């Protein structure tokens, strides 16, 4: 399959699991990262060791001009883009809303909402049939937070993911006749570095007893859902937000 899958934030956590599984499915994978080149290159090396194809490309997808450069590099260097996973996302430091700084709010909204919108724009311009593309699929990584609200932790993050859900629906409808499907996966509590970065390093120990299955999910359990949505097996699934939360 000479087709490219772009995974934003593909160097660590859920994105890295999606990149590995995407390569195993036959995509040439573009592993985008913001600052951790070592982690992204390690994912690429692992994919290549297993016989797959991947490249690591640095870009801060919260910046419009860097999104443009990222997609231009894919145009120049890789097979046609048919799959995009908008995975890069941050929460900002945990607090009540009234204590959150304007900088935190801006950082989260600029990456989780504007960054996803810019990547969707760039992808539609390349993938939709009306633009001469091959069609394909976009999967946005939302969060169970979008419907839980995340009180006392990061209400603004939950709101940003609700925006992702609505974007997913609207973009799916806008491209439904152009061979381009758009869906989202809403993970629950997943074992990644995100919890340390948000200021809750013990969350993976303290939260699970309160969750239905009594454990956090693994990044690979999210990647399986993402790869299904990208695949032809999900050919009539469009505009959906698939909750993968262990029942939460
Ligand atoms: P993670 O382990 O913290 O990894 C985040 C990844 O995003 C890293 O590869 C990071 O790049 C990249 N990134 C951050 N800012 C970026 C930017 N501006 N431009 C490009 N890449 C950027 O996070 P994760 O837990 O896997 O989360 C992935 C997605 O799942 C996020 O959208 C998150 O909201 C969502 N989610 C996670 C959970 C959970 O429990 N973990 C639950 C629900 C939803 P560097 O490596 O270069 O820093």
Neighbouring-strand partners of residue 57: 32
Ligand 1 atom with least separation from CA of 112: 32
| pLDDT tens per residue across span 53-64 | 999 999 999 999
User: Alpha carbon 46 to chain centroid distance?
Assistant: 20
Cα 186 to Cα 134: distance, rounded to the nearest angstrom: 27
pLDDT at 198 over 90: yes
| C-alpha of residue 79 to centroid of ligand 1, in Å | 25
* 27 flagged as catalytic: no
The position carrying tokens 């982690």 is: 39
Cα 29 to Cα 147: distance, rounded to the nearest angstrom: 31
Picking from 153, 126, 145, 139, the residue whose alpha carbon sits closest to that of residue 184 is: 139
What is the pLDDT confidence band of residue 210, given thresholds at 50, 70 and 90? confident
Global pTM exceeds 0.95: yes
Assigned CATH topology for domain 4-244: Rossmann fold (3.40.50)
| pLDDT tens per residue across span 72-118 | 999 999 999 999 999 999 999 999 999 999 999 999 999 999 999 99
pLDDT at 128 over 90: yes
| C-alpha of residue 190 to centroid of ligand 1, in Å | 11
Picking from 174, 88, 172, the residue whose alpha carbon sits closest to that of residue 137 is: 172
Q: Catalytic pick from 12, 31, 157, 181?
A: 157
User: For the chain, first and last CA: distance in Å?
Assistant: 36
Give the residues surrounding ligand 1 with Cβ less than 6 Å away: 8-9, 11-15, 32-36, 39, 60-62, 87-90, 111, 141, 143, 187, 189-190, 192-194, 197
Residue ranges of domains in the chain: 4-244
């Amino acid at each position: 399959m000479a087709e490219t899958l772009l995974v934003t934030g593909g160097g660590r956590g859920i994105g890295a699991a999606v990149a590995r599984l995407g390569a195993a499915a036959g995509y040439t994978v573009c592993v985008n990262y913001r600052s951790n080149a070592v982690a992204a290159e390690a994912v690429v090396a692992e994919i290549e060791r297993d016989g797959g194809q991947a490249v690591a490309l640095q870009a801060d997808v919260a910046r419009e001009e860097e999104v443009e450069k990222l997609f231009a590099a894919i145009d120049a260097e890789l097979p046609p883009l048919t799959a995009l996973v908008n995975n890069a996302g941050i929460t900002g430091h945990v607090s009540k809303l009234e204590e959150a700084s304007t900088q935190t709010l801006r950082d989260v909204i600029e990456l989780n909402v504007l960054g996803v919108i810019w990547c969707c724009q760039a992808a539609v311009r390349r993938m939709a049939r009306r633009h001469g593309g091959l069609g394909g699929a976009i999967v946005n990584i939302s969060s169970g937070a979008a419907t839980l609200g995340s009180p006392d932790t990061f209400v603004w993050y939950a709101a940003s993911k609700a925006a992702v859900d609505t974007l997913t629906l609207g973009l799916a409808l806008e491209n439904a006749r152009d061979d381009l499907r758009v869906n989202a996966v809403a993970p629950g509590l997943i074992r990644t570095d995100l919890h340390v970065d948000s200021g809750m390093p013990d969350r993976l120990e303290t939260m699970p007893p309160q969750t239905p299955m009594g454990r956090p999910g693994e990044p690979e359990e999210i990647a399986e859902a993402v790869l299904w949505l990208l695949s032809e097996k999900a050919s009539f699934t469009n505009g959906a937000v698939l909750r993968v939360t262990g029942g939460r």
